[in-house]
Amino acid sequence: MNDVLNIGLVALILGLAVWTIVAREAYAAVVGFIAYGLLLTLVWVQLHGIDVALTEAAIGGGLTGALLIGAAARLRSTESPAHAERPGVLTRWLAAGVSAAVTGALAICVLVLPVPAPTLAPAVVANIAVTEVGNPITAVLLAFRAMDTLLEAIVLLFALIGVWSLAPDRAWGGRPGPLQQSDPNGMLAYVARVLPPIGIVAGAYIFWVGADHPGGKFQGATILAAMWLLVMMAGLADAPPISRTWLRWLLVAGPLAFITIGVVGAVHAGAFLAYPEGLAKPLILVIEFALMPTLTLILGLMLLGAPQRGETT
Amino acid sequence: MKLALELWTVVAVIAGAFFFLAGTVGLLRFPDSLTRLHALTKADNLGLGLVVLGLLPQMDSVSDGFKLACIWLLVLLSGATASQLIARTLRRNDSRP
């Protein structure tokens, strides 16, 4: 019975993937991609990767989906001219050849993987007690491979700077996104009042249980960012001007705390990002707490886009 | 007692699945956006509601059941909001020449 479900799921995902690629309209492709992300979440649940499933649902399907919908809406005016000019036969054959080669290379790589796959899972299980964290994923992300997480947070910051750098000169330092003028008694405003209390509790909960159960700062921060965006879209609050000092400080607070703790580790524990004995859990908590507002702000601001209007409006 | 609960689960989940099927058929077959919205909300409200009701006796603890009910309520809220917003946009576009 389970096999039938799994086969059906895989068939659906493959079908959606093909459909996303062949869809002529950018918007249709984006909708296909979001559904694809949600089905992928189910696959991760079936593989017992609940942490990955949560991340895929929050970031892969939700946040990336919202970003792509915005991109598709902006590209709409260029879509029909782009369709009008068809690439030449040679270009199309070349594209097909390169795509087939990439697919073939990937297939060969998957097929030559050793069975059973090399794994560090036993090493993690043997050493997880040192970190006093119950969830092995969190232990890997914030203790054994903390460097990856640090670089991830910094990459996100760079991505936000990249988005901001698209701002026109006159709007630099101003507020991102268009001015929302919505009905204060409308449906959206109503939801933006009812949902955030629930969302904030859910986001904080997912952040807090990350130490011992599936969850963590990325998933929690995505939910908080979504609530913030909802309030801004409903016109109940305006986006902050990006020149604000408090905003800039919060954006670097997470990586800064992470690096500081890393340097302290280099002095006291012998290696960059090593935690002194017995202090692993408190230090991990400090990093998580410092990263949470940073991630929430980065994710929210990235969706809002480049600054478009001056500070006063 | 156990048999009765299992029977309840089977009946309610099948009824929920039927509403999902009916909602999907409606989404594909109905002529305009407003009626399609109507079909869609039947799947969300009744279909998911019946599935949740059916699964409630299978939960290990009261808090798990509470979480399931919360999921249904959240879907109700988001479904109602999204349909309202879509319908309003439709009407605004229609009234514009």
Q: Tens digit of pLDDT for each residue in A36-53?
A: 999 999 999 999 888 899
What local confidence, expressed as pLDDT, does residue B60 receive? 86
What local confidence, expressed as pLDDT, does residue A259 receive? 92
Q: Among candidates A137, A171, A149, which has minimal Cα distance to A310?
A: A171
- CB A200 within 8 Å of CB A37: no
Q: Is residue A80 a part of any domain in this protein?
A: no
- Chain B: residue whose CA lies nearest to A189: B81
| CA-to-CA separations, A164 to A161, A242, A307, in angstroms, rounded | 5, 9, 7
Distance between A295 CA and the closest CA of chain B, angstroms: 25
Mutation for testing the B interface, residue in A5, A181, A183, A187 having most B CBs under 10 Å = A187
Distance between A186 CA and the closest CA of chain B, angstroms: 9
Q: Is residue A124 a part of any domain in this protein?
A: no
B88 inside 8 A of chain A by CB: yes
Mention every residue, 6+ apart, whose C-beta is less than 8 A from residue B4: none
Tokens of B78: 């988001």
Below-70 pLDDT ranges, chain B: 95-97
Residues of B in contact with A195 (CB under 8 A): 77
What local confidence, expressed as pLDDT, does residue B97 receive? 47
Residue A308 is inside which H or E element, if any? Answer: strand A307-309
- Chain A: residue whose CA lies nearest to B81: A187
- Count of domains observed in chain A: 1
A129 residue type, one letter: A
- Count of domains observed in chain B: 1
Below-50 pLDDT ranges, chain A: 313
The residue segments making up the domain with residue B9 are: 2-95
A191, B81: Cβ pair inside 8 Å?
Answer: yes
Mention every residue, 6+ apart, whose C-beta is less than 8 A from residue A273: A146, A147, A150, A261, A262, A265, A266
- CB B27 within 8 Å of CB B33: no
- CB A215 within 8 Å of CB A50: no
What local confidence, expressed as pLDDT, does residue B38 receive? 87
d(CA A284, CA A286): 5
Q: Is residue A50 a part of any domain in this protein?
A: no
Residues of A in contact with B85 (CB under 8 A): 187-188
Distance between A196 CA and the closest CA of chain B, angstroms: 12
What local confidence, expressed as pLDDT, does residue B96 receive? 58
The residue segments making up the domain with residue A176 are: 129-313
Q: Is residue A135 a part of any domain in this protein?
A: yes
B71 inside 8 A of chain A by CB: no
| CA-to-CA separations, A24 to A30, A32, A253, in angstroms, rounded | 11, 12, 43
B5 inside 8 A of chain A by CB: no
What local confidence, expressed as pLDDT, does residue A159 receive? 94
Q: Is residue A260 a part of any domain in this protein?
A: yes
Distance between B1 CA and the closest CA of chain A, angstroms: 26
- CB B69 within 8 Å of CB B93: no
